[in-house]
Each structure stands twice: as structure tokens, then as C-alpha cells.
Structure 1
Amino acid sequence: MNVPATDDLAALRKERFIIIILAAIQVAHILDFVIMMPLGPQFMRVFNISPVEFSTLVSAYTFSAGIVGFFGALYADHFDRKKFLLFNFSGFIIGTFMCAISPNFGALLAARIIAGAFGGILNASVLSLVSDLIPYQRRGAAMGVVMSAFSISSILGVPTGLFIANAFDWHGAFYFICIIGLIFWIAAYFVLPSVKIKTEPRSFKSNLMNFKSILIQKDYIQAFTLTSTLGFGIFMIVPFISTYLVRNAGLPEDKLPLIYLVGGICTIITARTVGKLCDRIGSFAVFKVVALISIVPIFLLTNLPTSPLWIILIVSSLFTMMGSARFIPAMTLVSAVVKPEERGTFMSLENASRQLSSGLASQGAGLILGSTAAGALTHYNIVGVVGVVTSIIAIFIALRIKNKFNLR
């Protein structure tokens, strides 16, 4: 009678190790992306670039991730998941190293494109492994842990990266990411199990036909639209948070690490709680509440006047908490839509569509925003309106997915 309980305990322990490693990989590649935002004021000063040019630097990563992820989906289900992940993790580390040694704006832009090409598929590989290895009844909590990587990056990575960048220069922040990336690569090699997908070898033509059949499935398109809508709304705002807080809200530049530290601590607690609630009361119910609540900090942040530090910390932390919390129930809902044998292709396409929408949002925000003679950003409230509208649209899309698949 005790054997099943012992086996279950061993299986749960193994799941925890897997989730920790996958979360660590997420920390590395998310840190590589989010470190760009707090370094925004420094990049704009060092390279003497405008908000539009900085948004190009940010969106280059997401556009590259989206385009390469789209084509990478052709073969995502034809390789051992672990080997596919390690290959893309290696390319990501190389791309980040190229960022570290970039001598100028043009070289950094090219390096961001390379890092994004591998980073996007890496993200899809991580989410595929979560769905492959964790049963649906525990998947919400697992997604909460893996997606709390953003919080961990904010708590530990961004302040450390900024400290290194301030002590030396921005190159040092990317060297730091390369080092932790190598450590996590070694851990993944020894801890993650192989996940071989049982698919018949196909010619390029038949592969293309299978890809097309997945791409045009109505249910899949609806799932892609949900996460893309969320990505678009949030990335109209995120790339310029640091610049807006420094130039408009009066935050001293040396206090930027506090924004990520406090926001990250709050978010890591929220992410775990939201993940468990998804398993307990249903992903849609949680998503609807969190998406509606997120409207408040979106409005407050994008209309924030010159304020004391404590108000800036509260508003920015609420925005980070609610913005990231929405993706946990959303990804749990989305993971229930796909067939297991199509999961790699599906996740690659989902990631590609989300990255492309995020890139378009960042670029679009750069075109909307302007600056005064004193350097303050203008029209930030307009991108906030977009964030509010997309939150409401996403709720209706999630409702349709919930009803179609009889999910909670």
C-alpha cells in the first residue's frame, strides 16, 4: 500500500527538479531581454539615439524570435526535446556574448537579432517540456514557477546587471548573462530527461503540409491570438517604463534597480499564488479577475506625474505583478488546446506570434511616443489606452477557448 505513495513522492520530487531547471533557463533568456529596458536611458545617452531607435533595438530581438520561431516550428516536433533545447540555448549564449563584445549601435543591433533568433525558440522549448512532463492537473502551478522567472530576473538579475553596468559599463551586464547561461546549460544537460517524439520521418513537402494544417486550425489560431493580444498590450508599455520613470516621474537613474527588485519580489509571490489558484478554481476564472485588475495599474503607470519614490514603487510593482500574472492562466488554457504530438510545433508558432506582436507593439510605441526639449516622453498615456483595450479583448478570447474545451 505504501509503494504507490513512495512512487508518487519520487515522481513529484523529480518534477520539482525539472521545473527548477526550466525556470532557471527562463531566467537566463528573460534577463537578456529585460535588461535592455533599465539600460534604456544609458543606451540613449551613450549612442545618442531617439526613442524610435531604442525601440528598434528592443524590437529587433522580438522580431527575430518571431520570424525564426515561425520557420523553426517546421521541425520542432522532429527532435528530442532536450537536445533541441540545448542546441538553442547554446546559440542564445553565443548571441548574448556577441552583445557583450559589440563596439557600437549597429553591432549591438545585429547581436540582438542573433540572440533573439535562438531565444525565441528556447522559450517555446521550455514551455513544450513543461506541457510534456507535467500533468494538466498540476500544470498551472508548474507554469507559475516557470513563468516566475521574470520575477527572479527582476529580483536578482536586473539589479546585479545594473550594478555591473554602472560599475563598469553596459558590456559587463551581457558578460554576466553569459556566465549564468553557461551554468544553467550544464545543469540542464545533467538534469533534464530526454523526451523523444514519436513522429514518422517526413519529406520537406509533407512536413510543410503538416505545418500548414496546424497553422490554419481555428482552435490554434484562437490560442495564438490570446497570447499575442496580451503580448501586444504589455509591450506597448514595458520598453519605455524606465525612461518614463526617470524623465517624467522624477525617479533618479541610480534608483532603477529598486523598481525591478521590489516589483520582482512582489511578482514571485503573486506568480506562485496565481499558479496554484489556476489548479484549484480554474484558469479562466483566475485569468478574468487578474486581467480586469491589471487595467488599474496600466492606467496609473502610463499617466504617472512627478512622484515620490514610494508611489513610483507601488504603481510599478502593481503593474509588474498583474501584467505577468495574466500569462500564467493564459498559457495554462492554451496548453490544453494542443494535441501532444503537435506540441512542439504549436508552442513554436505560439511563441513566434507572441514575439512578432510584441515587436510590433514596441516599434509602434516608439512611433507614438515623442519627447520634449527637456527630454520627457510624450503620449505615454496613449500606449496605456492600448494596454487597457487589449486586456478586455483578451478576456473575450479566453472565454471562447474555455467554452470550446469545457475548461474551468
Structure 2
Amino acid sequence: MNKKEKAIILLLAAINFTQVLDFVNMVPLSIYLIPNLHISAFQFSTLVASYSISAFFSGIIAALLIDRHDRKLSLLIAFTGFLIGSFACGIAPNYVTLLTARIVSGTFGGLLGAQLYSIVADIFSYERRGRAMGIVMSAFAIASVVGMPLSLLLTNVFNSNWHLPFLANGFLGLLLLPLMIKYLPSMKGHISTFGSPTIFGSLTSPMKIRIQRSALIFSCLFMFGHFLVIPFIPSYLQFNNGFTILQIALILLCGGLSSFAAAIYLGRFSDKKGKLPIFLWSVFISLFLVFILTDMPAMNVLVAVLFFAVLFMVVTSRIVMAQSMISNVVSQNQRGSFMSVNGSMQQLGQGMASLVAGAIVKTNKATHQLSNYNWVGYLSIAVLIVAVIIGNRIFKTIDKTSDVPSGDEQPLKSNELQLDIVE
């Protein structure tokens, strides 16, 4: 990876950080939002789902146009709209206005992921993509390491003011805008007159190609199973297991550190050994961890730190591997539209998971303790098993490895990868 590639990847990771942080902030802030806004578990899950569902629809619309325009311009427009939504969340006075602001954030935030992954996939060949994708997706880990614990502490210090994390994230995004304009290259190499013949071809094409159709089904199902247990983790730790805000912040911090390491090093390792085997092992280990998480016995805070470190590591690993494999089922000139549809399917999976989890989990109005969380865990395990079976059938024939050294220097090319995937 040369210097130009590294600079672009780091900037894309920073952009992804703000987008991920805006979304994951809702998870730790559940500790404050549920009691302060006097809302139920289902109303909170609706706040989380509103982002994902709106991102699903905006991603579908974007898929119609995304491969017809410069990726840099599309990214700038999406990021600007996302920042407007983030600031709106930071000044929302009540549940209804916050819900509206989350819809705005989701509408534009949902466009960012597809653009980021498409840019990475255009720059790096499949054999080098695991490492690059790992760096960009390490934003999730960094958001966990820095963002979620800091959001908890910031809100706690300023008298439970949950607006501050959204405002801080918005100002951080403003600092990135001039860097995006200056350093991101214009990317038009994917634009082709030989792509989809009609504007709706971007949506219909993946449905006609079996491997792409199967990959989209896998993507939605996988994210549904993955996200089921996530929205209520902090609330469960505090209200059911008695951990303090500082202890939860420590747990998230250590979990995020292990997640960051997994995104970087396992991504690089997968380029040499294959992404599918690492994905399968990560999901297999996570099944046991989800079973423990959703029916967690009383445990020392140090044991909890170790447990969540392992959990975050395997969760990040399975996401990075899945995203890298999915990006390889489509040719470059249609990758932007396909990844936008894929991002929409993932957002749909997340949104539905949040709503289903919120419908299953019940909240005690007096103590705010959660019940039925273990049933959410059982459902998550069942769905992930089905997703693994589907994923193994899809990717076992296309998963490739590379003997390229980790420190290789290869030139940046806008048209580096041309795949031979035909129906």
C-alpha cells in the first residue's frame, strides 16, 4: 500500500468513524434516553430502527444513480446531509423531534457506507482488499474505543445531557469536509455506457444474477441476526447486572480496543489465508458468546471486560470478512449501485432486528430492568446459523488468497479490478 493509498484509506476511515459513531451512540445513550424521555423499550428500538429503515430507502434510491456519477461528488453530498441530521439530533427537545432527526441522519448516512466500500473496492483488488476494508471498517472499533465510552462519560458529566455526543460528532464531521475536497480524487472510472440499460437496471440486475441475489439475501439475514442483541446491551448491563456508568464505559473501551485489533490484523491475515474460514470460525465462536450475553450471570467487572473483549473481536471479524466477500460478487462498473443495494439490505436487516428486539424485550417502568432478553439471544443464534449455511454456499467458490507481502507497494489504479462473473 503506497502513501497515496494510505492517505485515502485513513480519510475514508475518518468519514466512516463519524457515520458509525452517530449510529452506535444510540446504543449507550439508551441508559439516558429511556428514563429521561420516559419511553418504552419498543419506542427506543424505534429510534434505532428509524435510522436504519430510512437508510434502506435512501440506499435503494441511490442505487439507481450512484454508478452514473463521480464517487467523490456523491460522497460529499451524502456527508453534508448526514451532518445536518447529526446537528438536528443535537438540538432535538423531545422524542418526536429526535425521531425526525434520526430519519434525516439515516437518509444521508445510509448513502455513505455504500460509497465508502465502493471506493475501497475500486482502488484495491480482492487479494488486497481485506486489509484496506479492515482499516476503513476499524472505524466501528474506534467508535467503540473512543466514541461510546466518551459519549457515556460526557453525558454523565453534563447532567445527563444526551445532546452533546451528537453535537460533538457533527463538529468533527465539519473538520473533515475540507480534507475530503482537497485529498479525495475524482473517481469516474466506473462510469460506463455498457452498464445497466435503464435507470432501474441497477436494481433489477442483481436480481437476475444468482450469486448477487444470494449475496443480498445473505447480507440482510446476517445483519438481522448480528444486530438483534446489540441495542439493549448497555441497558441490560446497568439495569439488570448492576454495572455503573464508569464500569460500562470501561467494558466498551476494552471491547473496542480488541475490535480495532481484529479489524486491522485479521483483515490482513485473511488476505493470505482466506476470508471465508475466518468468517465461519468467528460466527461459530460468537454463537456461544451471544448465549452467555443474553442470559448473563453475575460476574466481576474484570471478567466482564475480558468477555466483551472477545465478543467485540469476533463480531468485528465476521463483519469485515462478510463485507469483503460480498464486494467480490459484482464487476467494478456496477459495484457502486450493487454496494448501495447491499448497504440498504443491511440497514433493513438492522432496522427489522431493532424492531423485533424491541417487541420481545419488556421494560419495568419502575426499575427499568429488561425481561425476555434471552429470547432475543436465541433468535439471534438461529438466524446466524441459517446465514452461515447460505454464506458458505455462496462464497466457497470465489474466496481467494494472495501471497502479496503486507508491506507491498502497488500503484493506485481507478480500474484495478475487473471480475469475470457471468450468469
User: 2:110–2:344: 8 Å Cα contact kept in structure 1?
Assistant: yes
Instruction: In structure 2, list runs of 5 or more residues that go unmatched.
Output: 402-423
RMSD: 1.8
2:31 is matched with 41
Change (3 A) 1:389 1:202: closer
2:144 aligns with: 154
The residue aligned with 1:8 is none
Q: Identity of paired residues, percent? A: 37
Which residue, 324, 327, 330 being the options, matches 1:335?
Answer: 327
Q: Which residue of structure 2 lines up, in the alignment, with residue 389 of structure 1? A: 382
2:233 aligns with one of 241, 248, 255: 241
Counterpart position of 1:131:
121
**Structure-2 change in CA distance of 1:148 and 1:406 (3 Å):** closer
Which residue of structure 2 lines up, in the alignment, with residue 399 of structure 1? 392
Say which of 279, 282, 298 aligns to 2:271: 279
C-alpha spacing 1:261/1:15, structure 2 compared with 1 (3 Å): same
> Structure 1 residue 339: deviation in Å?
1.0
Cα distance, 1:201 vs structure 2: 10
CA distance in 2, matches of 1:266, 1:208: 42
Answer whether contact 1:250 1:307 (CA < 8 A) is retained: no
Provide closer, same or farther for how the CA distance between residues 43 and 342 of structure 1 changes in structure 2, counting only shifts above 3 A.
same
Return the alpha-carbon distance in structure 2 between the equivalents of residues 248 and 307 of structure 1.
12
CA distance in 2, matches of 1:246, 1:253: 7
Q: Residue type matched to 1:94 in 2?
A: I
Post-superposition CA distance 1:222-255 (Å, at most 9, x none): 1112222221112110000001111111111343
| Residue-by-residue CA offset, 1:124-152 (whole Å, 9 max, x unaligned) | 10000000111222100111111111111
What is the deviation of 1:326? 0.2
Normalised to the residue count of structure 1, the TM-score between the two structures is: 0.93
Partner of 1:296: 288
Q: Distance in 2 between matches of 1:305 and 1:346?
A: 43
Offset, 1:45: 1.0
The TM-score normalised by the length of structure 2 is 0.90
SS in 1 for 2:58: helix
Once structures 1 and 2 are overlaid, which stretch shifts more, 47-56 or 393-402?
Answer: 393-402
Q: Offset at 1:162?
A: 2.4
Question: Equivalents in 1 of 2:399, 2:229: separation in Å?
Answer: 33
Q: After TM superposition, give the deviation of residue 210 of structure 1 in Å.
A: 4.6
1:404: Cα distance to partner? 4.1
Q: What per-residue deviation string (whole Å, max 9, x for no partner) do you get for residues 262-313 of structure 1?
A: 1111111111121012101111111111111111211111110232211222
2:61 is aligned, of 62, 68, 71, to 71
Cα shift readout 1:162-182 (whole Å, capped 9, x = no counterpart): 232223211111110001111
Query: Using the alignment, how far apart are the partners of 1:263 and 1:12 within structure 2?
Result: 30
- Structure 2 CA distance for aligned equivalents of residues 295 and 188 of structure 1: 39
In structure 1, runs of 5+ residues without a counterpart are 1-10
**Alignment partners' CA distance in 1, 2:380 and 2:316:** 13
Count of residue pairs brought into register by the alignment = 397
What do the CA deviations read for 1:25-78 (whole angstroms, capped 9, x no partner)?
111000001111111010011100010100001110000111111111100101
| Matching residue of 2:87 | 97
The aligned residue for residue 24 of structure 1 is 14
